[in-house]
């Protein structure tokens, strides 16, 4: 079996993060002390709902409305053409050649 590094995609996968207790030996877990038990507090139903919503909430960039989403299209360019397109995009001040290509195509279609 291949040894995985801590920074690999597989080691940091969502499946591994969702089940942190999978394979955990609960029988060898130490008993809680009276002090630890006293520090625990009950959670109300409303508090529980808030926590459940917070856990399920989408994190990261907000989702675009359906009307603003762009259609994903695959297109093939020759290596020479793509290189020229990237150079031209850099000259025009674009960091992403795809954005430059969309601008040029939109202007051409007007």
pLDDT of residue 96: 94
CA dihedral (75, 80, 84, 86) in degrees, to 10, reads 50
pLDDT class of 100 with cuts at 50, 70, 90: very high
Cα distances (angstroms) measured from residue 103 to each of 16, 25, 38, 95: 41, 57, 64, 13
Residue-wise pLDDT for 48-98, tens only, equals 999 888 888 878 888 889 999 989 899 999 999 999 999 999 999 999 999
**How is the chain split into domains, by residue range?**
29-56, 74-109
Q: What is the end-to-end Cα distance of the chain in Å, rounded?
A: 57
pTM of the model: 0.44
pLDDT in tens, 11-54: 666 555 556 667 767 788 778 788 888 888 888 999 999 988 88
Confidence of residue 1 (pLDDT cuts 50, 70, 90): very low
């Amino acid at each position: 079996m291949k040894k995985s590094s801590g920074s690999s995609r597989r080691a940091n996968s969502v499946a591994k993060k969702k089940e942190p207790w999978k394979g955990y030996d609960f029988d060898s877990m130490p008993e809680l002390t009276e002090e630890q038990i006293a520090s625990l507090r009950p959670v109300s139903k409303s508090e529980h709902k808030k926590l459940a919503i917070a856990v399920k909430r989408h994190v990261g960039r907000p989702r675009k409305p359906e009307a603003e989403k762009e259609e994903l299209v695959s297109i093939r360019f020759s290596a020479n053409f793509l290189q020229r397109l990237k150079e031209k995009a850099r000259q025009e001040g674009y960091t992403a050649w795809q954005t430059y290509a969309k601008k040029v195509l939109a202007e051409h279609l007007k």
